[in-house]
C-alpha cells in the first residue's frame, strides 16, 4: 500500500493512555500517509488519566510512528489541549522537526489558518475543572462499556452503536454547548479575518463554510480517535474530512519492524508525576 502524500494532516483528541483510544487504527492511518506537516491539535496524551499501569504497546507505537515521520522530514506541531495541559509549561519548545505550541497560525496557499485545541471556550475548564475531570472519567468508562457491548453485538450479528454519540445527540445541553463552541470559534475567526479556523476538543468532525454580514471563514474540526477515527487533510488547495475504515487497510501489514522500539514510557511518566 503506497503512502498518500499530503500537504497538511490534522489529528486531535487521541487520548493515549485511556481505554477508549483507537491506537491500532491510528497507527495504520499514520503508516499510510506522508504529510509535509502533521498538526497534533491537543489531547494527544491523556495526562488526566495517565497511569503507569495502563500504557499498551499500541499506544507507544503511535508515538514511535510520529517520531519516525519526523525523521523522514515531516514537520510536527504539537498544540496543547486540556488533557495534556501539563505540557504548556514547555510552550515554544523546538527540536528538529518538532515544535510545541498552544496555538498556531499558518499561511496556506495565501490564506491564513488558525489552529488551536479549543478548550479556552469551555466554561467548565475555567470554573469547575474537577467537574470536567469527573466527566472525562465517566466518558472513558462509558466508552469501555460501549466496546464490550459492541463485541457482544458483533457476536449476535448486529452492527456497532455509539452510546456516547446517542447521549450527546439527545441531550439539549450537549447540543447547545457544541453549537456555542462552534459559533464562538467562527465569530472570532471572522473578526480576525482568518480564512480557516481549525479546532478539536468537542469530538465532532466537520467542515463548514460560513458567510455572515461581517465576513467569511471556514470552520473545521478534526474529530477524535475514540469514536469517529477522523482527521483533516489538506492537499491541492482543498480541505477534506477523512474517516478511517478498517477494511481499507486489509493489505497493510500489521508488523511495525520499521519503528524504533525505544521505550518512551518513562519520559511521560516523569512529566505527569
- Are 223 and 12 a contacting pair, CB within 8 Å? yes
pLDDT for the residue numbered 119: 87
3-state secondary structure of 76: strand
Residue spans of the domains in the chain: they are 4-272
Q: Which three cell numbers stand for residue 71?
A: 525523521
Closest CA to 26 of 74, 1, 59: 59
pLDDT for the residue numbered 30: 97
Half-sphere exposure of residue 10, counting CA atoms within 13 Å on the CB side?
30
pLDDT for the residue numbered 173: 54
d(CA 134, CA 138): 6
pLDDT for the residue numbered 138: 53
In sequence order, the 6+-apart residues with CB closer than 8 A to the CB of 106 are 8, 37, 112, 113, 115
pLDDT for the residue numbered 211: 96
- Are 30 and 68 a contacting pair, CB within 8 Å? no
What are the residues facing 201 on neighbouring strands? none
Question: What is the number of residues in the chain?
Answer: 273
Q: Which three cell numbers stand for residue 36?
A: 509535509
pLDDT for the residue numbered 45: 94
pLDDT for the residue numbered 108: 97
pLDDT for the residue numbered 127: 47
Q: Which three cell numbers stand for residue 198?
A: 481549525
Using 70 as the pLDDT threshold, list the residues of the chain that sit under it: 1, 122-175, 250-255, 257, 260-273
d(CA 133, CA 35): 33
Q: Is the dihedral of CA 63, 67, 73, 77 positive or negative?
A: positive
Architecture label for domain 4-272: 4-Layer Sandwich (3.60)
Amino acid at each position: 500500500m503506497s503512502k498518500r502524500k499530503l500537504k497538511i494532516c490534522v489529528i486531535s483528541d487521541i487520548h493515549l493512555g485511556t481505554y477508549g483510544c483507537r491506537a491500532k487504527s491510528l497507527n495504520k492511518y499514520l503508516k499510510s500517509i506522508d504529510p509535509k506537516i502533521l498538526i497534533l491539535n491537543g489531547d494527544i496524551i491523556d495526562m488526566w488519566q495517565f497511569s503507569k499501569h495502563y500504557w499498551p504497546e499500541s499506544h507507544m507505537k503511535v508515538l514511535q510512528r510520529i517520531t519516525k515521520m519526523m525523521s523522514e522530514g515531516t514537520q510536527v506541531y504539537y498544540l496543547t489541549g486540556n488533557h495534556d495541559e501539563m505540557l504548556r509549561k514547555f510552550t515554544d519548545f523546538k527540536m528538529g522537526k518538532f515544535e510545541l505550541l498552544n496555538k498556531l497560525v499558518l499561511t496556506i496557499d495565501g490564506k491564513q489558518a488558525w489552529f488551536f485545541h479549543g478548550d479556552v471556550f469551555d466554561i467548565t475548564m475555567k470554573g469547575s475543572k474537577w467537574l470536567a475531570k469527573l466527566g472525562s472519567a465517566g466518558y472513558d468508562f462509558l466508552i469501555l462499556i460501549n466496546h464490550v457491548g459492541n463485541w457482544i453485538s458483533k457476536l449476535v450479528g448486529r452492527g456497532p452503536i455509539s452510546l456516547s454519540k446517542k447521549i450527546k445527540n439527545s441531550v439539549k445541553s450537549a447540543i447547545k454547548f457544541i453549537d456555542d463552541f462552534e459559533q464562538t470559534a467562527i465569530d472570532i475567526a471572522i473578526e480576525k479575518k482568518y480564512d480557516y479556523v481549525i479546532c478539536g476538543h468537542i469530538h465532532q468532525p466537520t467542515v463548514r463554510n460560513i458567510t455572515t454580514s461581517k465576513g467569511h471563514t471556514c470552520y473545521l474540526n478534526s474529530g477524535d480517535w475514540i469514536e469517529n477515527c477522523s482527521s483533516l487533510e489538506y492537499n491541492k488547495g482543498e480541505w477534506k474530512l477523512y474517516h478511517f475504515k478498517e477494511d481499507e487497510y486489509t493489505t497493510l501489514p500489521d508488523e511495525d519492524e520499521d519503528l524504533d522500539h525505544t521505550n518512551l514510557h518513562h519520559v511521560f511518566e516523569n512529566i505527569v508525576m
